[in-house]
């Protein structure tokens, strides 16, 4: 699913990752562990294509395609999802409109077909009910006035609707109460067609998600056990 070879990355002229080699197989729930500043979020952002993180050396291959130089939009449309720690508030863009355009773009890129409004609304309603999201949230602007746990539910809504091939979740448990953490864990385990890379520091949440593999980073390098 994802192969990283000899990857070194810098941010603001500071090297944050050094010679990372990692293989993620289809269907894994792969946990990235390590102390703060070890490089986990940098790796997540680099895989997703954040242009602020400059690749000095190495290669990223996704579904047998070299995506090292692909932009973030193309990677997202190919099926790489990033649930980042900090998502900005976007005034003037409702959750429904954001999700509609995202789902339409994904469908067209991956299959060349159009997504009807009826299909979208049906899928949205099903996912909303699954996550116990009030219908009135959908008319609110992205993240404006939402608590940490509520933002996580909106992230899950986007995850379920776009059905990515691989989802990178950077501390999805942060700011979420126990009920929301359990909902996140259940969603991860139920999405069997999606491969997950999960960053977490909380042992209780780690037990919930039951990772199939664990990779530990320290000072920008993978710890060899």
Confidence of residue 225 (pLDDT cuts 50, 70, 90): low
Give the chain's domain count. Answer: 1
pLDDT tens-digit map of 48-98? 999 999 999 999 999 999 999 999 999 999 999 999 887 788 999 999 999
CA–CA separation, 14 vs 11, rounded Å? 5
Q: Are 217 and 33 in contact (CB under 8 A)?
A: yes
Question: Which sign does the torsion angle of CA 191, 33, 181, 121 carry?
Answer: negative
Mean pLDDT over each residue of the chain, to the nearest integer: 93
Query: What is the domain-level CATH number for residue 75?
Result: 3.40.50.300
The mean per-residue pLDDT over the stretch 192-198 comes to 96
Q: Supply the range of the domain harboring residue 176.
A: 2-222
pTM of the predicted structure, to 2 decimals: 0.92
pLDDT tens-digit map of 135-173? 999 999 998 888 888 899 999 999 999 999 999 999 998
């Amino acid at each position: 699913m994802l192969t990283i070879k000899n990857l070194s990355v810098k941010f603001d002229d500071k090297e944050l990752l050094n010679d990372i080699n990692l293989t993620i197989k289809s269907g894994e729930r792969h946990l990235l562990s390590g102390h703060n500043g070890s490089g986990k979020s940098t790796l997540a952002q680099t895989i997703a294509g954040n242009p602020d993180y400059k690749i000095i050396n190495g290669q990223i291959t996704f579904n047998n395609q070299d995506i090292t130089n692909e932009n973030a939009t193309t990677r997202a449309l190919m099926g790489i999802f990033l649930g980042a720690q900090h998502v900005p508030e976007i005034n003037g863009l409702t959750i429904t409109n954001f999700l509609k355009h995202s789902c339409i773009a994904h469908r067209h890129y991956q299959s060349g077909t159009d997504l009807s409004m009826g299909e979208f609304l049906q899928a949205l309603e099903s996912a909303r009910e699954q996550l116990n999201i009030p219908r009135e949230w959908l008319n609110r602007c992205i993240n404006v006035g939402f608590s940490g746990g509520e933002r996580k539910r909106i992230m899950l809504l986007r995850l379920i609707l776009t059905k990515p091939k691989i989802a990178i979740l950077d501390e999805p448990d942060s700011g979420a109460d126990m009920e929301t953490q359990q909902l996140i864990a259940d969603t991860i385990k139920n999405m069997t067609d999606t491969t997950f890379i999960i960053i977490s520091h909380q042992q209780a949440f780690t037990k919930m998600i039951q990772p199939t593999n664990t990779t530990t980073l320290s000072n920008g390098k993978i710890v060899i056990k």
